[in-house]
Amino acid sequence: MILITGATGNVGRELVLLLAEGGHDVRAVTRNASAARLPDGVEIVQADPSQAASLSTALEGVDALFLNPITTSAPYQPAGEPARTLLELAAGSGVRRVVLLSGAAAANANGGGDPLAVYFRSYEKLVTESRLPWTFLQPGEFAANALAWVPQIRGGDTVRDAYGEASTAPIHERDIAAVAMRALLGDERVEARIVIDGAEALTKRQKVDLIGQALGRKLLFEEVPPVIARQAMIRHGFSEAVADTVLAYQAASIEHPGPASDGIERLLGRPPLSFAQWATDRSAIFGG
Ligand SMILES: NC(=O)c1ccc[n+]([C@@H]2O[C@H](COP(=O)([O-])OP(=O)(O)OC[C@H]3O[C@@H](n4cnc5c(N)ncnc54)[C@H](OP(=O)(O)O)[C@@H]3O)[C@@H](O)[C@H]2O)c1
């Protein structure tokens, strides 16, 4: 049995689907089972990982745990008691491996001043201390970050955001899920840090254009001062330090575009899914 935290989210939903399609036993954790919309045959557990004790029964008979940090702490806040308790319960229940959804920032050499690095490393440290065999997934930017533009694209043809030339290699969440599944099911990658990125570096302008192509619309990108984007991020629950760090990453990526590593190809034996594919897959969310 595999227990998936964050099962209704960007990565978790894809992971549950892949595991269910493969005929594996999946237990999906959500705080609201009636809204989960997960496939038939998936065992749904209504619990909140930020109240870790609510998962003690759900951990019975579980071999592998997928841990999404966002389910146990406020956005980009370091791991605390809920994550520690959850890992203790997992170890006590006989869980044999943990796959952690970490992030590329964990490897940032300037970790001390980077709240994203501090956040991811705090989770990696707790998992390591749990003594459970682990795999740390370290993806770069999720393609799903472009969902922040949904209200603008549903409301008109212009996307306003900072740093139009900021360039990253966004990864399709299905690719993250496919690697997670390998790690949850097999043992060849246990105790490994797996760096994964999308196929190619794209600027924000190019991403908006590709979403427009998926929708059959001509979308425009209008650059706004970073302070406007900063305010929007803070309104969406990011701390000031995290908003500043994300914007600094974006500014730096203009000169040094986000990496397009070969991790997906090496691990899955096929190229990463493209951002164009992602935009097509998510077109209904954008109003297509
Ligand atoms: N975005 C990026 O570029 C990026 C890059 C690298 C790593 N990451 C990491 O990936 C993780 C996000 O993954 P994701 O996008 O798949 O997650 P997500 O879609 O934002 O959320 C996953 C699920 O977690 C549950 N959840 C959300 N907030 C919660 C809370 N405060 N307490 C308890 N449960 C909560 C929700 O499920 P229910 O409502 O059904 O309970 C949600 O559907 C983060 O830890 C992030 O640091 C992100």
234's tokens: 């803070």
The secondary element (H helix, E strand) that includes residue 253 is helix 240-255
Single-letter residue type at 113: G
Q: Are 71 and 29 in contact (CB under 8 A)?
A: yes
Among the atoms of ligand 1, which is closest to the Cα of residue 104? 6
Select from 70, 81, 193 the residue to mutate for testing ligand 1; criterion: most ligand atoms less than 8 Å from CB: 70
Residue 111 has what pLDDT?
Answer: 63
Residue 168 CB–ligand 1 contact under 6 Å: no
| CB within 8 Å of 5: residues ≥ 6 apart | 12, 29, 49, 65, 66, 67, 68, 71, 72
Bridge-based pairing state of the strands 202-203 and 167-168: antiparallel
Residue 84 has what pLDDT?
Answer: 97
201's tokens: 């570096």
Residue 136 CB–ligand 1 contact under 6 Å: no
Residue 74 has what pLDDT?
Answer: 86
User: 97 pairs with which residues across the strands?
Assistant: 64
Among the atoms of ligand 1, which is closest to the Cα of residue 31? 41
Q: Are 167 and 260 in contact (CB under 8 A)?
A: no
Single-letter residue type at 18: L
Which of 50, 123, 129, 119 shows the shortest CA–CA distance to 91?
Answer: 129
Cα 77 to middle of ligand 1, angstroms: 13
Cα 186 to middle of ligand 1, angstroms: 24
Cα 101 to middle of ligand 1, angstroms: 9
Give the Cα separation of 179 and 129 in Å (integer). 23
In total, the chain counts a number of residues equal to 288
Cα 40 to middle of ligand 1, angstroms: 23
Residue 12 CB–ligand 1 contact under 6 Å: yes
Cα 45 to middle of ligand 1, angstroms: 17
Cα 218 to middle of ligand 1, angstroms: 31
Residue 5 CB–ligand 1 contact under 6 Å: no
Residue 69 CB–ligand 1 contact under 6 Å: yes
- 112, with CB counted inside 10 A (0-12, 13-18, 19+), is exposed
Residue 8 has what pLDDT?
Answer: 98
Is the pTM higher than 0.85? The answer reads yes
Q: Are 87 and 56 in contact (CB under 8 A)?
A: no
Q: What is the pLDDT along the chain (288 residues), one digit of tens a residue?
A: 999 999 999 999 999 999 999 999 999 999 999 999 999 889 999 999 999 999 999 999 999 999 999 999 988 899 999 999 999 999 999 999 999 999 999 987 666 789 999 999 999 999 999 999 999 999 999 999 999 999 999 999 999 999 999 999 999 999 999 999 999 998 666 679 999 999 999 999 999 999 999 999 999 999 999 999 999 999 988 999 999 999 999 999 999 998 888 889 999 999 999 999 999 999 999 998
Give the Cα separation of 107 and 111 in Å (integer). 7
Residue 188 has what pLDDT?
Answer: 61
Closest Cα to atom 24 of ligand 1: 6
The secondary element (H helix, E strand) that includes residue 244 is helix 240-255
Give the Cα separation of 39 and 35 in Å (integer). 12
Residue 75 has what pLDDT?
Answer: 84
